Amino acid sequence: DGGITQSPKYLFRKEGQNVTLSCEQNLNHDAMYWYRQDPGQGLRLIYYSQIVNDFQKGDIAEGYSVSREKKESFPLTVTSAQKNPTAFYLCASSIWGYEQYFGPGTRLTVT
Amino acid sequence: GQQVMQIPQYQHVQEGEDFTTYCNSSTTLSNIQWYKQRPGGHPVFLIQLVKSGEVKKQKRLTFQFGEAKKNSSLHITATQTTDVGTYFCAGIGGAQKLVFGQGTRLTINP
């Protein structure tokens, strides 16, 4: 069963802690993406990766970090430097330039 | 940089009424994609338009790509409660990077 998985679905953290969100895909896509969505808002690109061992900053990369050591995996770390980390985080993958397939998302709450 | 604007931000209709959302880009697009996100869910790809002036239909949904490849629209005929959700357009410009519009949130009164 092909697709993208994100875990966990809900995540709660205390302010000042780093937290890593998981994203795995078995669609054999080279490109992977992380978006942030706030209530009633659109999708804002955090980081993207066109190929293994390479990634680029998106529009709102400050306070976030990523790695792309394997084609299937693109974890996102929300660091304590991110001022407003509470949001819905979506991971996606695609063949570069084609439609994106999204995971179910992780709702992060930081208090 | 490339910007994609979408209007309206919100639309509330009676079931059976039509609905249209419009998407405008600051630059010429190589193609445009449309996605639907149900409440509490994740965006799901609907369609991609590539050619200038292209029109595609999916049952009650009609998608258009403008002649100048800078605007697009999604029209839903006779809305049903299953159409509820947020509709996003996303355009690919010169940098080959997909840029999403803000989305139009559709709510329907049954």
For the stretch A26-66, pLDDT in tens is 999 999 999 999 987 889 999 999 999 999 999 999 999 99
Alpha carbons A46 and A30: distance in angstroms, whole number:
17
Interface test with A, best of B21, B42, B87, B99 (most A CBs within 10 A): B42
Torsion of CA A39, A43, A48, A51, to 10 degrees: 120
For A20, other C-beta atoms within 10 Å of its C-beta total: 13
C-alpha closest to that of B53 among B77, B32, B27, B75: B32
Query: What's the mean pLDDT in B53-60?
Result: 98
Q: Rounded to a whole number, what is the distance in Å from the CA of B18 to chain A's nearest CA? A: 22
Q: How confident is the model at residue A107 (pLDDT cuts 50, 70, 90)?
A: very high
In 3-state terms, what secondary structure has residue A78?
strand
A43 and B42 in contact by Cβ < 8 A? no
Q: Give the pLDDT confidence score for residue A2 in this predicted structure.
A: 64
A43 and B100 in contact by Cβ < 8 A? yes
Q: Give the pLDDT confidence score for residue B97 in this predicted structure.
A: 81
Which residues in chain B have their CB less than 8 angstroms from residue A40's CB? 105
Q: Give the pLDDT confidence score for residue A42 in this predicted structure.
A: 87
B100 and A102 in contact by Cβ < 8 A? no
Contact by Cβ (8 Å): A52, A82: no
Interface test with B, best of A36, A99, A102 (most B CBs within 10 A): A99
Give CA separation, A36 vs A41, A59, A103, B17, in Å: 9, 10, 13, 32
Give CA separation, B81 vs A77, B19, B60, B74, B84, in Å: 38, 12, 13, 17, 6
Q: Tens digits of per-residue pLDDT, A13-25? A: 999 999 999 999 9
Residue type, A60: I
